[in-house]
Amino acid sequence: IIFIDTFTLFPETVAYLHQLEDHYGFKAEVYHAKGIPTQKDYEEKYGTDYWKKDIDEYDKLCKVEPLKRAMEEKNTDCWINGRRRDHGAERASLAVWEGTKLNPIAFWTFEDCWNYLRINNVPYHPLHDDGYSSLGDIHSTLRVDHSKWMAYAGERSGRFQGLVNKDGSAKTECGIHSKNRPAKKARVESKETPAVKA
């Protein structure tokens, strides 16, 4: 199990990781920005608001590169994640299999997830009790009224509020899932390009 510590996560998220490690008897391998061993080192080098200066570079440094490095070091070409179609936006037509990504709960709803947690006594993130329906970095995560949690795209409606991509579009992904990443963009473009007859 790989855990990407962006150095801008809620402290409760890191504590929740340790709770899950104890509960299930595993030890996650923590990855973070290359050459930056601690949050203190990160803040000394980049400050506390690097994401404001260049959100794309922040995503590359703190999310994309650590994930890529983890996959290379673990010699794997596929990773499992929890993205679902009911998240909306770029995820609305999500497939279960995306070549290098496996989305096993792509067709689940947020309600399905909560039902599974309750039936199987799975510990959930403590900030759900504080109004956070979806958790990410502190700077890009807001509370969501409980009345919106189970609505289509409601769970993630508190994510990336007010953040925009360099092209001016609303930010809906953190970089590791973005269609604008070079490898994913090449796959998308190759599917969209009509076959040329020789």
Q: What are the residue numbers of the active site? A: 174
The amino acid at 146: H
Tally of CA atoms within 13 A in the half-sphere of 185 that contains its CB: 5
* DSSP 8-state class, residue 89: G
The position carrying tokens 């958790």 is 135
Q: Which run of H or E residues covers position 80?
A: strand 79-80
Residue entry with tokens 């109004």 = 131
Asked if 60 and 175 count as a contact pair (C-beta separation under 8 A), the reply is: yes
Rg from Cα positions in the chain: 18
Q: Are 14 and 126 in contact (CB under 8 A)?
A: no
